[in-house]
Amino acid sequence: MAGGKDGWKNDKMLARAILRDRAARRKLIGRMLLLALALMATGIWLIDGWLAKNPWWFLLWWGGCAVITSLVMLFALYDALAVIREEREKYR
């Protein structure tokens, strides 16, 4: 990772580009959704016995899944609001 002000400036530019470009935003949402589904499927079918042995690992795993799922929902809400704003600006 780049450090200092240049790294922060590059990160801000990348975030701004993703948030303003509809296609990039939707690609990010799709990838995050696939990640959330893959983690949930892994937790249900592949490592369920391992998670059942220790309640802390169980809470950590499913808490992480909940956080990622919540982020996907927040990005989807942002996308919906951004589309509404874009359409309103198009007709002004």
pLDDT for 61-70, tens place per residue?
999 999 999 9
14 or 24: whose pLDDT is higher?
A: 24
Query: 2: which residues sit within 8 A by CB, 6+ positions away?
Result: 10
Looking at residue 69, what is its pLDDT?
96
| DSSP classification of residue 91 | T
Compute the Cα dihedral for 67, 61, 39, 41 and give only its sign: negative
Give the model confidence (pLDDT) of 49-86 as tens digits.
999 999 999 999 999 999 999 999 999 999 999 999 98
Q: Does the global pTM surpass 0.85?
A: no
For the chain, the straight-line distance linking the first and the last C-alpha, in angstroms and rounded, comes to 42
pLDDT-based confidence at 22, cuts 50/70/90?
confident
**Number of H helices and number of E strands within the chain?**
4, 0
